[in-house]
Amino acid sequence: MTTHSLCRGATRLLAAAASALLLAAGAAQAQYPAKTIKLVVPYPPGGATDVIGRVLAQRLSTALGQQVVIDNRGGAGGNIGAEAVAKAEPDGYTLLMGALTSHSIMATLEKGKLRYDLGKDLVPVAVVGSVPLAGVGTPPPPVKTLKELVDHARANPGKLTYASSGAGAPQRMCAELFRLKVGADMIHVPYKGSGPAMGDLVGGQVLTMCETVPASLQLIKAGKLRALAVTMPERISMLPDVPTAAEAGVPGIEVASLFGVMAPAGTPAPVVAKLNAEIQKILATPEAQEQLLLQGAYAIRMSPEQSGDRIRREIAQWARVIDEAKIKTD
């Protein structure tokens, strides 16, 4: 047998082996899922991310015919769980139920410290929900509207205070975006959590803050806080009489806390597409929408491509805000 014949034989064997591998991979994807799926929640049980994850896991288990189990891996502001998923086998059996706005903020704020890259090591399956934020203050004067807050801040540079629940929180980023948009020189007062921050806001120790609507809603309804504007493109059902920031005279402030499912980079596109399709069906049901709304989240239906675009915009927006406001970790 000549060397040429041997080479041709080896080439055929390699081609056959490659074809067999592709067929096997295709068959595995067609049969997906063939075992239990783990949905990692990078926070302790009980929070909004966890509850939204459990709503999806329960319904996905039924839709896919395999158990989808929650794995709570809290710590480091969600980074421990996110890193675990980023480094997992990209086969569709380990997924992240992420607080996407927080992860997008951390991508810049913790750059150089994180051991995964949100934009490279994870791929979006679906953005599933959005928790709106609102600018809030206390009912007595000096300010009753967002426009009055802007005017008051400009007339008193370096004197007015705004609270936040931490350097990397969406609430802080919302306030900084507002401050940068209107050119206001205000004093930041950091707190360890929304509860203490709102307590001092109600008590008059600080003037204003951005807060999620679910966290502040009862105080607003009780008349202890005044909602100046919601940071959404449209008015919301939870506060139908409160204008958007754009309606209140400050366009360009659209901030929500996003939640969604991500998978390790390299997860086969057909697997991502199948997961997205089932999630879309779930989020179209009134029952799932109601369960999310109980957590203060409005259901969102997006393709993987739309979800990727939205996450990239989040990363870019918060990178600009962090840089311009010179925000550092607490």
The predicted pLDDT at position 23 comes to 46
* Cβ-Cβ contacts under 8 Å for 39 (sequence gap 6 or more): 53, 56, 57, 60, 68, 69, 70, 71, 95, 96, 97, 261
- Give Cα 50 to chain centroid, integer Å: 13
- Separation of alpha carbons 298 and 301, rounded Å: 10
Locate CATH 3.40.190.150 in the chain: 36-130+256-325
Q: How many CB atoms lie within 10 A of CB 256?
A: 25
- Separation of alpha carbons 109 and 117, rounded Å: 12
The predicted pLDDT at position 220 comes to 96
Question: 132-230, superfamily in CATH?
Answer: Periplasmic binding protein-like II (3.40.190.10)
The predicted pLDDT at position 272 comes to 98
Q: How far is CA 305 from CA 72, 227, 264, 271, 312, in A?
A: 27, 34, 15, 14, 11
The predicted pLDDT at position 113 comes to 93
3-state SS, residue 35:
coil
The predicted pLDDT at position 160 comes to 94
The predicted pLDDT at position 329 comes to 80
- Separation of alpha carbons 43 and 120, rounded Å: 22
Tokens of 17: 């082996």
The predicted pLDDT at position 166 comes to 83
The predicted pLDDT at position 24 comes to 44
- Separation of alpha carbons 23 and 45, rounded Å: 40
Locate CATH 3.40.190.10 in the chain: 132-230
- Separation of alpha carbons 62 and 68, rounded Å: 9
Pure H helices in the chain: 3-30, 48-64, 79-86, 100-109, 118-121, 146-155, 170-182, 194-202, 213-221, 269-283, 286-293, 304-325
Q: What is the pTM of this model?
A: 0.88
- Separation of alpha carbons 2 and 290, rounded Å: 72
Q: How many CB atoms lie within 10 A of CB 221?
A: 12
The predicted pLDDT at position 7 comes to 53
Residue indicated by tokens 């421990």: 80
The predicted pLDDT at position 26 comes to 54
CATH class for the domain made up of 36-130+256-325: alpha beta
pLDDT along the chain (330 residues), means of 10: 56 52 52 97 94 97 98 94 98 98 96 95 98 93 90 95 90 96 95 93 95 96 96 96 97 96 98 98 97 95 98 97 89
Which amino acid is it at 8?
Answer: R
